[in-house]
Chains A and B, each alone.
Chain A
């Protein structure tokens, strides 16, 4: 019988599960884990927020100085401020639309937390 053979074979094999927290797991290259961003690179176009289907991206504001013909001007831009990882569905739209590629997926997958506030990624 097939099942007896399979059981006997498994008696001699090592367990197919690994001791997880002790052993590190390396996800594949394309794996979409925790999402991170670089606030300094952000040009404040707001595309990521407009496209996020889960509405988990918040923008902030800051003053930006720029010089035109020797005269200093100021303008307010709205760079990315925080991403709520608890809401994010890892669709990758923000990564795709960002014109300066300052949002990207990392391979970090251990994201569960008892506190909801800790799931908000800030920089």
Chain B
């Protein structure tokens, strides 16, 4: 048997985004792996600098096509914190509605591609078919299927109409029925279990060490749900459960996300029931002389962190920490001592999004280096403990 190294990517058939995973193999087993990033760096943080607040809001939402609203909401929240402004309850409810719809949509897409990774194409098609219902809702409520642009500083662009509420509730019933069916399928299906159970195991201790976030961490028994820990928007008024499991393999991550969709449906029903009758304020231009704040929102993939400083009504600096950035560090360790065939499943079970994730580029001595946060801490920070 020969040892050899196998690069997967940056253009590869499994993941739809560019990244390079360098595998060192011993036969079919992976000895160690290395992740090379830097093929999709967009420089959004730099793009944000010097932009007006209203402009920056819409540039921020372009960071990701799947959790677009969470980015605009994160930025907006930090602006509202600087202004010390508490939005009316109806505005908060509408924002929460879009957040939860986005979570459903994102988890459905993720689940679909998870099944696609190990060849369960039927489920893939069913999930994408049902995702269309959510996209229709988006089109109706926000006017955009992917980029919603419904947020505005201090308010939202559109109010909810009466007929929208019935439409949303109808679709939620439909989705719930389908998801209960899918849950039954996933619990019974042999192939799904064979491919996912005990693959990519993350223990609680390891999850803590790698600072995992979102459903990935919750599948390992860590509750770091921002909706629960630091409630924002309408979450303080809602009654919901944080889905947690202990085992931490790819199968558990699938179950956690599936149950989260059902939980989101529950949340949306509560929102529609408790929606206060209020007039939403009209959008006005805002002015901030100087200010600095941070904000956190729970995106479908986990905590989305924003640090913003404003000077003369323009963004001076925006530091964004996307959830995928926190999660991907663990990938090389997960791949060790696994067969090559498990790479797509393990990679996808972390729900990576490379265009969100690429944030740090270091140019030193004319050498360009793209690194993740973990390596950055080890290499460039002396007192990182």
Contacts and interface: CB of A to CB of B under 8 A. Distances in A.
B319 interface: no
Interface string B181-196: 1101100110000000
Given A1-B188, A53-B59, A7 B122 contact: yes
B362 interface: no
A16 B144 CA distance: 22
Contacts of A16: 129
A86 to B, nearest CB: 15
A6 B144 contact: no
Interface string B74-99: 00000000000000000000000000
A88 to B, nearest CB: 11
B283 interface: yes
A22 interface: no
Given A2-B184, A7-B122, A30 B142 contact: yes
A104 to B, nearest CB: 13
A3 B149 contact: no
A7 to B, nearest CB: 7
Nearest to A4: B185
A46 interface: no
A105 B149 CA distance: 14
A32 B185 contact: no
Interface of B: 51-52, 54-56, 58-59, 62, 122-123, 126, 129, 139-144, 147, 149, 157-158, 181-182, 184-185, 188-189, 283, 285
Given A6-B126, A51-B52, A89-B147, 10 more contacts: A2-B185, A3-B123, A3-B189, A28-B140, A28-B143, A30-B142, A51-B55, A52-B55, A53-B59, A90-B147
